[in-house]
Amino acid sequence: MKAEELKLAVAKDEKEIVESLRSMVRIKAIGPAYGGEGESNRAKYLLDLLSKLGFRFVEVHESADSGVPSGRRPNIIVRERGTGSKNIWVVTHMDTVPEGDIGAWRYPPYDPRIVKGKVYGRGVEDNGQELIASLFGLRALVKNGVIPECNIGLVFVADEEHGNVHGIEFLLKKGIFKKGDLVIAPDHGQQDGAAIAIVEKGIAWINIEVIVRQTHASTPHKGVNAFEAASRFLVAAVDGLRKQFPRSDPLFDPPTSTFQPTKCDANGPNVNTVPGRQQFAFDFRVLPNYKLDDIMAFLKRVAMEYETMTGAQFNVTFLSRADSAPKTSEDSEIVVRLSKSIQTVRGVKPHVFGIGGGTCATPFRREGIEAAVWSTIPETAHDANEYINIADLVADAQVYAILFAGKNVD
């Protein structure tokens, strides 16, 4: 079969592809951390869909979770054997974040509407489009008797929106994936479909607590102002970090590490008290060639200086950390294969880049497994009025079909 014929076979299924996405999104799949019941009902729909589409090799791996009514968080794996021994995995997730402010939606978030070539609904971009696209990309091969070049595994995981404990991490511990496998984690992308992410910055959320003696605002000399001490420390810390860790990497936008003060807690209900406690937080996105432990050590040195200067106590702690994983090489096999498929379908030459947020590729890279992050999306994930373009949904399915077929299509 020729590549153009395979692309046409996918395009002919457009109506079924779109309706499958809409049917899936109608089923809520919000995790218990956000007040939902998990992915079980959505997984049941997908298992039924897989059966109807003729997939025979389907597995369900369940992670125990007492926080959901079923007590289990399902992960679905669809396998199709290829002519070679290499394994290619596409890892998408079933769960979504809640809809947020329902009044901000033009259309019902769980009754997906088609409007001017777009599908609106919660989770259509994150991560419904790529789940359905990868599924119908593989289905085009099965339907038309094309054997994949590599062994293909489609993985629909749970719990991506809250840490991957019951999803990717659970499957990694079970030994589903191994070194030498190739992974696509399509949970991030850009609008032109030409960008492949190969590295992420490290992420540190850091809490600062300043504790001193509270006093009346008319007698500030009897205490120490926690708000003022915190403010002076904040400016010194951020200025110092930017000078101490100045490296730039053009793979990223912005190209430098970012050190941002973000959340600030209330320090009291009234105006006429010098506060004895002030708490705030930083969000740092750090280039891979810096260690988060070095960032923290620098902060603590500055904190000690300001303890001496102000008499306040500074408690500096990680709220959360995600050290940067090793970079996937620009000429790695998964990047090369994916780039060729994108160019075949979209007629554009892909480029690699790095991003400031964590992705589903990170756990794989930490295990020494090559992983690439790619999709074609309008970047509306988590927004009210989240939507995808139907043309992108179909084109991405074509990219997967060409990728899976590999040398087995002309």
Question: Are 360 and 187 contacting, i.e. CB atoms less than 8 angstroms apart?
Answer: yes
Over the stretch 78-122, which tens digit does the pLDDT of each residue have?
999 999 999 999 999 999 999 999 999 999 999 999 999 999 999
Assign domain 3-200+326-408 to its CATH superfamily: Zn peptidases (3.40.630.10)
Beta bridge partners of 318: 206
φ, ψ for residue 103, nearest 5 deg: -70, -15
Strand order in the sheet with 313-322: 258-264, 277-286, 202-211, 313-322
* For the chain, the helix, strand and coil percentages under 3-state DSSP, each to the nearest 5: 35, 25, 40
Question: Are 202 and 283 contacting, i.e. CB atoms less than 8 angstroms apart?
Answer: no
Residue found by looking up tokens 């603590």 in the block: 300
Over the stretch 231-250, which tens digit does the pLDDT of each residue have?
999 999 999 999 999 999 99
- pLDDT for 1 equals 87
C-alpha to C-alpha distance for 306 and 97, rounded to whole angstroms: 40
Question: Are 83 and 148 contacting, i.e. CB atoms less than 8 angstroms apart?
Answer: yes
Active site residues: 95, 160
Question: Are 385 and 104 contacting, i.e. CB atoms less than 8 angstroms apart?
Answer: yes
Q: What is the mean pLDDT of the chain?
A: 97
Q: Taking the domains of the chain in order of start, what are their residue ranges? A: 3-200+326-408, 202-322
Based on C-alpha coordinates, what's the Rg of the chain? 24
Please name which of 65, 61, 45 lies closest in space to residue 53, comparing C-alpha atoms. 45
Residue found by looking up tokens 């030994």 in the block: 175
- Looking at the chain, how many residues does it have? 410
C-alpha to C-alpha distance for 366 and 362, rounded to whole angstroms: 6
Fold of 202-322: Alpha-Beta Plaits (3.30.70)
Q: What is the token pair recorded at 122?
A: 């919660």
Beta-sheet strands, E only, within 163-298: 182-184, 195-200, 202-211, 215-216, 258-264, 273-274, 277-286
- pLDDT for 357 equals 84
**DSSP secondary-structure letter at 248?**
B
Over the stretch 189-221, which tens digit does the pLDDT of each residue have?
999 999 999 999 999 999 999 999 999 999 999
Q: pTM value?
A: 0.92
Beta bridge partners of 63: 73
